[in-house]
Amino acid sequence: MSKKLFLCAVLFLFTSSINMDARHKKTRRTVQTEQRYREIDNYDFLYTGEDYDFEQSSPVMDNVIDEAFTHIGARYVHGGKGPYVFDCSGFTSYVYKQIGVNISPSSKMQYATQTPIHNSELQRGDLVFFQGRSGRGGVGHVGIVVDVDHNNGTFNFIHASTSRGVRVSNSTESYYRSRYIGARRVME
């Protein structure tokens, strides 16, 4: 009887320590995600020109970006529409749905149905579109603009990438620079 009791106690302690390690790792990952968000959200250093309008951002678009950042690191799955796995257009439609705006879960339809805008008009929350992997034209990828540097025409965008899941990329990265198609505004 005492051997059984001893074994149960050892088993309990062993499983408790595994659970504590798992909680510690989850907490560490959460802290890392929050730190990345703070680093990316603090992008004021990019804007050195006097012609940038910091008042351009709206509370609604801030909510879009905040919602998008809560999914940093979520896995990419073709056809994934959230909240734990996404493909690119499933991600953008899910984020907008969380603030009460329904857009198509198809990147081609998002491109076709939302308001076209020129790059000089880009702002937080706009959708940006890229050719697919083949690079043979046509919409194949979409992301949400996080911030824009109007001095040099570059922007950061959050998207569900096939290789790294939900992440932030920059328009100057060669893969995206060579495949950029255009931008659309979801809300005026």
Catalytic residues: 88, 141, 147
CA dist 118 and 134 (Å) reads 25
Write out the two tokens for 136: 């043979």
CB distance 147 to 156 below 8 Å: yes
Beta strands in 48-104 (DSSP E): 75-76, 85-86
Q: Residues 118, 121, 125, 129: what is their CA dihedral angle, to the nearest 10 degrees?
A: 20
Q: Which amino acid is at 39?
A: E
Cis geometry, peptide bond prior to residue 105 (ω within 30 degrees of 0) = no
Write out the two tokens for 116: 């076209």
